[in-house]
Amino acid sequence: MTQKYSLPYSHVTPEPAYLNRRAVMAGIAGAGLVAASGARAQEVPVFEIQGFDTTETPNSFEEITSYNNFYEFGTGKDDPARHAHALTTDPWSVEIDGLVERPGSYGLGDILAKVDIDERIYRFRCVEAWSMVIPWNGFELNQLLNMAGIQPSAKYVRFETLYRPEEMSGQNRPILDWPYVEGLRLDEAMHPLTLMATGLYGKELPNQNGAPLRLVVPWKYGFKSIKSIVKITLQEEQPVNTWKAINHREYGFYSNVNPDVSHPRWSQATERRIGGGVFASRVATLKFNGYEEQVADLYRGMDLSKNY
Ligand SMILES: Nc1nc2c(c(=O)[nH]1)N[C@H]1C(S)=C(S)[C@@H](COP(=O)(O)O)O[C@H]1N2
Ligand SMILES: [Mo]
């Protein structure tokens, strides 16, 4: 049937990793993590410390919460911080439907009572070629999908953001097709790196970052990490994601971070790390955003320049 992961979450990101990274690294050195792909259990190489690399300091809370993309509140980087307070995030529920055993409306409180919240310090790379390092709190998406029960015929997961123009001012304008939609292949969705974030820096997720529940897929461009999710659908067909629908020559479905495949209007070989101030410099972009060892197997045999 569907994939199950038996890895101890603590091996991926022991908490409190960002406070105590050196100690933690000693603990996980040599620990392989087991990710099952289909029926075949496979050894994923030792988790590269890249996810919480000592050489990469997390961005500040201030940086992470003041430079955002959340077009439901406007297209300026400071628009979300200025306007997203208008969003009511409690009560919140997520409709899970399609090819699941237990479709229905899942209240956020009920979800949170059943999942393990971890801390994950991930690189975050926007398709616009800026990046940050973000200490998220959240749970693996596979826990939520397993809660709903995945039917054997499910192949993709479709996600939808809230549509509430009274509170999301940008939705009154034709900036994008509303609601914002994203999608993942089921094996991508089940991967232990794929997170449903509920917080950052140990605090509740700020509205501008996609409260109360947003996807984080660290090896893909930021637009895949859809915010303020209200609907999850398991289906057989590949979902049509918002940015691909707008311009399929520039934005694809897979959207894996790839320094070798340029955006038609700019190179993806380097990125600008936010927060460097006068020392801001461009750093090399890594394949799969530095998570190649964890995720490359998902794409064996695929031409990533075609499946961009
Ligand atoms: N619903 C929704 N989700 C979204 C977006 C958006 O405009 N609307 N922007 C995406 C883009 S382009 C990026 S880079 C990230 C930004 O996340 P952050 O503001 O938390 O850094 O959110 C993604 N998720
Ligand atoms: Mo982005």
The model's pLDDT over 70-112, given as tens digits with 9 standing for 90+, comes to: 999 999 999 999 999 999 999 999 999 999 999 999 999 999 9
Predicted structure pTM score = 0.85
Q: How many angstroms is it from 170 CA to the middle of ligand 2?
A: 17
Kindly state whether residue 289 falls inside one of the protein's structural domains: no
Q: Measuring from atom 23 of ligand 1, which residue has the nearest CA?
A: 223
Closest CA to 170 of 78, 77, 79: 79
Q: What is the mean pLDDT of residues 29-50?
A: 35
**pLDDT higher than 70, residue 14:** no
Kindly state whether residue 175 falls inside one of the protein's structural domains: yes
Range of the domain at 22: 9-245
Tell me if 209 is assigned to a ligand binding site: yes
Q: How many angstroms is it from 221 CA to the middle of ligand 2?
A: 6
**Partners of 270 in beta bridges:** 284
Angle at alpha carbon of residue 303, lines to 299 and 304, rounded to 5°: 70
Tell me if 71 is assigned to a ligand binding site: yes
Kindly state whether residue 136 falls inside one of the protein's structural domains: yes
Please work out whether the CB of residue 161 comes within 6 Å of at least one atom of ligand 1: yes
Tell me if 214 is assigned to a ligand binding site: yes
CA 258 – CA 79 distance, rounded (Å): 28
Kindly state whether residue 277 falls inside one of the protein's structural domains: no
Query: What's the domain count of the chain?
Result: 1
Q: Measuring from atom 1 of ligand 1, which residue has the nearest CA?
A: 227
Kindly state whether residue 230 falls inside one of the protein's structural domains: yes
Give the least confident one: 32-46, 61-75, 91-105, 243-257: 32-46
Please work out whether the CB of residue 71 comes within 6 Å of at least one atom of ligand 1: yes
- The single-letter code of the amino acid at 231 is K
CA 260 – CA 248 distance, rounded (Å): 18
Give the least confident one: 47-56, 69-78, 177-186: 47-56
Q: Which pLDDT belongs to residue 280?
A: 66
Kindly state whether residue 105 falls inside one of the protein's structural domains: yes
Please work out whether the CB of residue 69 comes within 6 Å of at least one atom of ligand 1: yes
Here the CATH number for the domain that contains residue 199 is 3.90.420.10
